[in-house]
A and B are shown apart, each in its own frame.
Chain A
Amino acid sequence: MLTASNITFRVGQKALITDVSVSFAPSKLHLIIGPNGAGKSTLIKVLARLLRPQNGKIEYDGVDVQHASEAALAKQRAVLSQAVEVAFPLSVREVVMMGRYPHFGGRPGPADERIVDEVMAHFDVTEFSRRNYQTLSGGERQRVNFARVLAQLWRDGLTTNTSSCRYLFLDEPLTFLDIRHQIDFMKKVRAFAGDRDVVTVGVVHDLNLAARFADQIVLLNHGRLVATGAATDVLTVDLIQATFGVKPTFVAGNGSGVHLFFD
């Protein structure tokens, strides 16, 4: 369980997040939406404790993360960012192995090697294993990074030793993916988010994808919480028009909810 209470985050005099309180339950997929500059990425970074809010507190499993060490947090929290650039030539496998860094001291153990093999197979990046990360396309890189992030949070029968939740944050993960990989990606996120000890919070731009995949939608505007709840409660004509400034038309899809169109 992730709880954010009365979060305010300012840079200088400018408040990017103002008094946001929201909680995220495990085994559900939570997606944050909102127009540009609404504070979506900032909120993700505050929730992941990259940024520390001036007011309010963030609790993981009821424990304030304000004073948690980076090393301890990294064992249970992972973040997938928009575009990860690698400064020097590195093999894809080395990048994925970084996800295991929080879990081993000097050299990776057999469990780490096994987990890396598993996640790489899961994301169809095994064939790139020895390729230089810098030579991959944007979409391929994003799959590699997703594999890395899941390697960080991976637990299996042999490595589990804790009952605390795992926290997965996704900061606009779909930016460089084509439509097929977007849907493929969201399905994999959903499958992982379904685990009973996983709390997943993401930012997406596409309202249709949000409507289709989210269990809970969080609508932000000007750094404030506008609405939160199921897609049908949040994605209404009035709320969308009020926050995004465009009027949607709802069209019934064949079997998978509604689709939004904009004029």
Chain B
Amino acid sequence: MTSQRGSQRVLLLALVAVTLLVLAASIRYGAIDFSIAEISRALTSVLPGRPEPTLDQRIFLELRFPRAVLCLLVGASLSVGGSLMQALFRNPIVEPGLVGTSSGAAFGSALFFVLGGVLHVGTSIWSLPFAACIGGVISTYLVFLLARSREDGRASIVMLLLTGLAVNALFMSAIGFLSYIARDPQARSITFWSLGTLSGASWKAVEIVATSTILGSIIALRYAKQLNALMIGEEEATYLGVNVNRLKWIILSVNVVIVAVATAFTGVISFVGLVVPHILRMLGGADNRFLIVGSALTGATLLTLADLMARLVVRPAELPIGIVTSAVGVPVFILLLRRRHYVF
């Protein structure tokens, strides 16, 4: 136990280093490459008394850099969300994208763009993430309501996945309809919502997503021990002093908020929340204290790598990031499904 905790600590430190390295690569390479000298000139150009930044420097400061930071935060959010969902449902194949949270949040955001344009509402920067949260809550609740068995009120995993599939399809078609009638260019882009992209990143988005990611992760960490107790079952966790209903509400709320806020700015990015906790569990065990911190770092790293790939493969254009994450995530998902020792 003690030695395992030691190796977990080493692993987390290594992950911090890798995350910083990947971040450095992410701000350097893209449609245009920036040299280290150019990066430092761009960074210092915001200091008082310096000459106005050049066009390249402004591209770096207003597009590249916030995009890289947003990518870290979104990767962290989706992965922490995934590890929370998996701990809560005691199953390694649930993730925010599969149980409807992401598509509902995307629908909420798309609806906000459409109605915002028509009704001229929503001037606060918090309106969009708020709309996404409402959408996420509704879709997640709908999935669990429909997946619940009539006999014992429990949601089996098969029912969850199938209902999630149906609810995702429903919300995606609703988004399709909205993008058809919308005038706002962002709402019009169906690929934006269904495949995800970080191209709309701004410092404002970074600020909002950072708030929800950091607060959500801190709250989740406070309940990590209780989530551990849940690994041996809801009844056993109750006997160990956990108020299971309260825990479920808190964790589900944290999950919906962090995932919905991220989705509001990037669209639906699937499979990150599925793959990341799985990798972490293989590397350092299932302890949720380790898993939550590790998932945040690994999710940030992997999504940044995916984003780099999305930017470099067809440069100077870019792929929607969801194409990259799905290409990696789907095989892992199928592998997990075919594993026999998980009970469905």
Contacts and interface: CB of A to CB of B under 8 A. Distances in A.
Contacts of A3: none
B91 interface: yes
B286 interface: yes
Interface stretch (B49-57, B68-76, B138-146, B236-244): B236-244
B225 interface: yes
Contacts of A84: 232-233, 236
Given A74-B240, A78-B239, A98 B1 contact: no
B199 interface: no
Interface string A190-213: 000000000000000000000000
A70 B233 CA distance: 15
Given A70-B243, A71-B241, A87 B90 contact: yes
Interface stretch (A26-34, A88-96, A228-236, A243-251): A88-96
Contacts of A143: none
Contacts of A48: 239
B241 A86 contact: no
A152 interface: yes
A27 to B, nearest CB: 22
B150 to A, nearest CB: 13
Interface in A82-114: 84-91, 93-95, 97-99, 101-102, 106, 113
Contacts of A101: 225, 228-229, 240-241
Given A70-B243, A89-B285, A134 B238 contact: no
Nearest to B244: A70
Contacts of A69: 243
Interface string B282-310: 00011100000000000000000000000
Interface residues of A toward B: which range? 20 to 34
B238 to A, nearest CB: 6
A253 B230 CA distance: 45
B91 A70 contact: no
Contacts, number: 75
B4 interface: yes
Contacts of A87: 90-91, 230-232
B281 interface: yes
Contacts of B232: 84-87, 95, 98
B72 to A, nearest CB: 26
Q: How large is the interface on B (under 10, 10 to 19, 20 to 34, 35 or more residues)?
A: 20 to 34
A125 interface: no
B286 A88 contact: yes
A224 interface: no
A73 interface: yes
B258 to A, nearest CB: 21
A73 to B, nearest CB: 7
A70 B240 CA distance: 8
Nearest to B2: A113
A152 B90 CA distance: 23
Contacts of A106: 225
Contacts of A134: 341
B285 to A, nearest CB: 7
B96 interface: no
Contacts of A152: 240
Interface string B1-29: 10010000000000000000000000000
Interface in B327-344: 341, 343
B145 to A, nearest CB: 20
Closest 3 CB pairs of A and B: A74-B241, A87-B90, A88-B286
